[in-house]
Amino acid sequence: MALSQRLEFRQTQALVMTPQLMQAIKLLQLSSLDLAAYVEAELEKNPLLERGSDDEQPVASAAPAAETEPAATESDEAVPSDWSQQELETSRDSMEAHLGTDLENVFPDDGGAKSAQPEAPPAGYAEWSGSRGNDENAYNLEAFVSAEITLADYLAEQMALAISDPASRMIGQYLIDMVDEAGYLTGDLDTVAEKLGAPRAHVEAVLAILQTLDPLGVCARNLSECLAIQLRDRDRYDPAMQTLIEHLDLLAKRDFTALRDRCGVNEEDLADMIAEIRHLNPKPGLAFGSTMVQPIVPDVYVREAADGTWQVELNGDTLPKVLINQRYHAEVSKTAHSDSDKRYIADCLQTATWLVRALDQRAKTILKVSSEIVRQQDAFFAHGVQHLRPLNLKTVADAIGMHESTVSRVTANKYMATNRGIFELKYFFTSSIASAHGGEAHSAEAVRHRIRQLIAAESAAEVLSDDTIVDKLREAGIDIARRTVAKYREAMRIPSSVQRRREKQAAAL
- For 260-279, the three-class secondary structure string (H helix, E strand, C coil) is HHHHCCCHHHHHHHHHHHHC
Contact present, 393 and 403 (Cβ < 8 Å): no
pLDDT for 290: 52
The residue-averaged pLDDT of 70-97 equals 39
The residue-averaged pLDDT of 97-126 equals 41
Contact present, 216 and 287 (Cβ < 8 Å): no
pLDDT for 397: 92
The residue-averaged pLDDT of 398-405 equals 90
The residue-averaged pLDDT of 96-122 equals 42
Cis (ω within 30 of 0) for the bond into 215? yes
Phi first, then psi, for residue 132 (nearest 5°) are -105, 130
Confidence of residue 85 (pLDDT cuts 50, 70, 90): very low
Q: Is pLDDT larger for residue 12 or for residue 408?
A: 408
Confidence of residue 94 (pLDDT cuts 50, 70, 90): very low
Distance, in Å, from the CA atom of 441 to the CA atom of 308, rounded to the nearest integer, reads 26
The closest of 465, 468, 367, 476 to 425, measured between CA atoms, is 367
Is residue 91 scored above 80 in pLDDT? no
Distance, in Å, from the CA atom of 52 to the CA atom of 321, rounded to the nearest integer, reads 6
Distance, in Å, from the CA atom of 410 to the CA atom of 363, rounded to the nearest integer, reads 10
Q: Where in the chain is the domain with CATH 1.10.10?
A: 431-508
* Cα angle 494-500-501, degrees, rounded to a multiple of 5: 165
Confidence of residue 147 (pLDDT cuts 50, 70, 90): low
Distance, in Å, from the CA atom of 509 to the CA atom of 507, rounded to the nearest integer, reads 5
Contact present, 469 and 409 (Cβ < 8 Å): no
Q: What is the pLDDT of residues 345-356, one digit of tens each?
A: 999 998 889 888
Is residue 102 scored above 70 in pLDDT? no
Confidence of residue 497 (pLDDT cuts 50, 70, 90): confident
Confidence of residue 142 (pLDDT cuts 50, 70, 90): low
Q: Is pLDDT larger for residue 73 or for residue 40?
A: 40
Is residue 113 scored above 70 in pLDDT? no
Confidence of residue 312 (pLDDT cuts 50, 70, 90): very high
pLDDT for 84: 34
pLDDT for 301: 94
Sequence-distant (≥ 6) Cβ neighbours of residue 149 within 8 angstroms: 288
Question: Per CATH, which fold does 431-508 belong to?
Answer: Arc Repressor Mutant, subunit A (1.10.10)
Contact present, 28 and 410 (Cβ < 8 Å): yes
- Residue 448: its H or E element: helix 444-456
Q: Is pLDDT larger for residue 289 or for residue 163?
A: 163
pLDDT for 62: 41
Is residue 101 scored above 70 in pLDDT? no
The residue-averaged pLDDT of 319-329 equals 88
pLDDT for 116: 39
Residue type at 439 in one-letter notation: G
pLDDT for 337: 83
Confidence of residue 461 (pLDDT cuts 50, 70, 90): confident
pLDDT for 507: 66
Is residue 224 scored above 60 in pLDDT? yes
Q: What is the pLDDT of residues 152-167, one digit of tens each?
A: 888 888 998 888 888 8
Q: What is the pLDDT of residues 57-83, one digit of tens each?
A: 444 444 444 443 433 333 334 433 333
The residue-averaged pLDDT of 212-237 equals 89
Confidence of residue 141 (pLDDT cuts 50, 70, 90): low
Calculate what percentage of the chain has a pLDDT beyond 70: 77
DSSP 81: T
Is residue 100 scored above 90 in pLDDT? no
The residue-averaged pLDDT of 106-129 equals 40
Beta-bridged to residue 433, according to DSSP, are 442
Q: What is the pLDDT of residues 417-451, one digit of tens each?
A: 998 889 999 989 887 777 766 666 778 888 888 89
Is residue 119 scored above 80 in pLDDT? no
Contact present, 168 and 202 (Cβ < 8 Å): yes
In sign, the C-alpha dihedral spanning 294, 295, 301, 302 is: positive
Averaged pLDDT of the chain: 78
Is residue 392 scored above 60 in pLDDT? yes
pLDDT for 258: 85
Distance, in Å, from the CA atom of 324 to the CA atom of 293, rounded to the nearest integer, reads 35
460-467's contacts with Cβ under 8 Å and 24+ in sequence apart are: 460/501, 460/504, 460/505, 460/507, 460/508, 463/497, 463/500, 463/501, 463/504, 464/497, 465/497, 466/497
